[in-house]
């Protein structure tokens, strides 16, 4: 009897474990169920409800950062691939200051105007004929581009004047046995200033003013047997000049020019066969003039 009870006690649990578990009927949607969390069968504990401390630890979102707009960067300047061509040097030499020289090489002539003195029939052309100017030289400097200051000297050579007495004596010796020669010379020297209107251009117009001394000489010579010379000296009170310089190259220029010199003889001296027959001041003074035209050359225009 005891065996039977024991067997029954062992067999009942075995049969109970062999029976299938009852499947719960599905519940309607939205109906709460009392089914345990499926994770209870995996050995994981069910999630716990969040506490007040955990909720307070959630960070609050920061306010949005407002970024100021940045001004757009201007685009770089447009560039081209064209080659830069250097400017050609000007063919006209630049204006300059400093030393300057001009000279007239056998390329001018001068005409006498007015009276040598206030005496009767004593015209300047009666003493001196027209003059060939073989040389004029000027030395000075340009203190600025437009202004020149310097000195000048001019020498002219010509024949005797138109005075009838002088002409008769000179023409009387034009034979083989009587060799008489007549000549005249003039000298002008002084200081002058010139102003250039276009000192940096290829063609430069200029005007000048000067003053100085003047001298005129007439000579009659008979092959050494007889010689008479009369020299008059005085002042050029105004030397008015003007011209146009062409400047083709640096350091050189040339062009036409003209000079109108107004003077007055103050002293005269006469020699016959090297003996002084008269020397003294001129009592009856008068103004005269020389007009010169020619071509001059300029160094460092």
In whole angstroms, give the CA distance from residue 110 to residue 129.
9
Does position 122 have pLDDT exceeding 80, yes or no? yes
In whole angstroms, give the CA distance from residue 182 to residue 159.
6
Rounded-to-5 percentages of helix, strand, coil across the chain: 15, 50, 35
Higher pLDDT, 280 or 20: 280
**CA 290 to chain centroid:** 39
For residue 93, give the 3-state DSSP assignment.
coil
How many of the other CB atoms lie within 10 Å of CB of 227? 15
Does position 265 have pLDDT exceeding 70, yes or no? yes
Query: What average pLDDT does the segment 227-255 reach?
Result: 93
Confidence of residue 6 (pLDDT cuts 50, 70, 90): very low
pLDDT at residue 5, as a whole number? 44
Query: What average pLDDT does the segment 258-267 reach?
Result: 97
pLDDT in tens, 87-121: 555 667 888 899 999 999 889 999 999 999 998 88
* Domains defined for the chain, CATH in brackets: 98-299 (2.40.160.20)
Which has the minimum average pLDDT: 61-75, 174-188, 224-238? 61-75
Could you give the percent of the chain with pLDDT greater than 90?
49
pLDDT in tens, 154-180: 999 998 888 888 777 787 655 555 678
Buried-exposed string 54-93: b where 16+ CB fall within 10 A, e elsewhere: eeeeeeeeeeeeeeeeeeeeeeeeeeeeeeeeeeeeeebb
Does position 17 have pLDDT exceeding 80, yes or no? no
pLDDT at residue 77, as a whole number? 61
Compute the mean pLDDT over every residue in the chain, rounded to the nearest whole number.
80
pLDDT at residue 58, as a whole number? 55
Higher pLDDT, 172 or 237: 237
């Amino acid at each position: 009897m005891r065996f039977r009870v024991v067997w029954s006690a062992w067999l009942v649990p075995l049969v109970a474990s062999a029976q299938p578990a009852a499947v719960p009927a599905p519940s309607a949607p939205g109906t709460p169920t009392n089914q345990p969390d499926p994770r209870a069968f995996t050995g994981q504990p069910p999630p716990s409800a969040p506490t007040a401390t955990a909720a307070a630890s959630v960070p609050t979102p920061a306010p949005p950062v407002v970024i100021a707009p940045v001004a757009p960067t201007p685009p770089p300047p447009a560039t081209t691939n064209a080659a830069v061509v250097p400017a050609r040097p000007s063919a006209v030499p630049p204006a300059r200051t400093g030393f300057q020289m001009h000279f007239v090489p056998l390329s001018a002539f001068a005409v006498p105007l007015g009276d040598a003195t206030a005496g009767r029939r004593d015209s300047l052309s009666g003493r001196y004929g027209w003059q060939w100017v073989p040389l004029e030289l000027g030395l000075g400097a340009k203190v600025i581009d437009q202004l020149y200051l310097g000195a000048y000297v001019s020498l002219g050579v010509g024949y005797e004047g138109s005075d009838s007495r002088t002409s008769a004596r000179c023409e009387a010796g034009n034979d083989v046995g009587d060799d008489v020669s007549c000549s005249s010379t003039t000298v002008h020297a002084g200081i002058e200033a010139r102003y250039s209107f276009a000192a940096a251009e290829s063609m430069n117009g200029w005007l000048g003013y000067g003053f100085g001394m003047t001298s005129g000489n007439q000579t009659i010579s008979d092959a050494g047997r007889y010689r008479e010379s009369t020299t008059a000296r005085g002042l050029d009170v105004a030397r008015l000049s003007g011209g146009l310089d062409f400047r083709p190259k640096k350091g050189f220029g040339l062009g036409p020019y003209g000079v109108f010199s107004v003077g007055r003889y103050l002293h005269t001296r006469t020699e016959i066969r090297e003996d002084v027959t008269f020397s003294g001041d001129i009592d009856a003074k008068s103004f005269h003039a020389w007009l010169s035209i020619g071509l001059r050359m300029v160094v460092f225009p």
